[in-house]
Structure 1
């Protein structure tokens, strides 16, 4: 029967890290695989992209493409369905801050869009950047208000 104190690693499962330049007897002492002289043998190294003085490939090739303007960026809304709004009390105001407080949304991004999945059972004043047609209709049918904020 074996005990925890008698457990050992399998042979060859754990090996010490290989240390270069620690004596000739190791087979990797003296120059540690770097050769005798020259840039590669010394402690400093060349910069990334440096090609020994010839014009680097990044400068030899032409520029192409363009950078998109941030003005053309796609607007990203956080989608919230109607059934999630039932977590609020009747007659309360629902906005991004209130949704974050109830952990319905984590981030706001460019705003909140209310979508029409599920059913709404309460009269609410909902403030959001956008509404789907079905969501707006459902909120107003319950006597609530769908306010589009900028």
Structure 2
């Protein structure tokens, strides 16, 4: 292989379409724009979702609800998952390393789903009232 023989792969490059260059090109006269109307004219275009002056779909439909962007930093861990983890002391870093919460999680809360038999000490992690009672009943603590 020589530097002067290197070529791009087949189909990687293609010629720019030249419109309005006569009948033989297949794109003469109207240059592929059809006849008349806003789309056929120079500078004649409109924003996304424009429906020719008719009330656009996104404005016709009713709006409901709101999803907070801060929710992605919150995470939940069940008592079952805590039992399976099998650590005596649990903090945010331990949960992230175990893969129970996402890496971007900032606030973690233990929820009462399942059973807990082992004593677990939580540091820097919240718990619901029911989960806190279950953890303390198993001999653990929530700090």
Compute the TM-score of the two structures, normalised by the length of structure 2. Answer: 0.53
Q: Report the aligned-residue RMSD.
A: 3.4
Structure 1, unaligned stretches of length 5 or more?
1-18, 50-72
CA distance in 2, matches of 1:89, 1:119: 13
Correspondence 1:1-150 to 2 at 5 A: 19=17, 21=19, 23-29=22-28, 32-33=31-32, 40=42, 76=71, 77-91=74-88, 93-147=89-143
Aligned length: 100
Q: Assess if the C-alpha contact under 8 Å between 1:78 and 1:108 holds in 2.
A: no
CA distance in 2 between counterparts of 1:106 and 1:75 reads 14
Describe the shift of the 1:124–1:108 C-alpha distance in structure 2 as closer, same or farther (beyond 3 A): farther
Unaligned runs of 5+ in 2: 1-16, 36-40, 48-67
Q: Shift of residue 142 of structure 1?
A: 1.5
- Tell me if structure 2 keeps the 8 A contact 1:114–1:132: yes
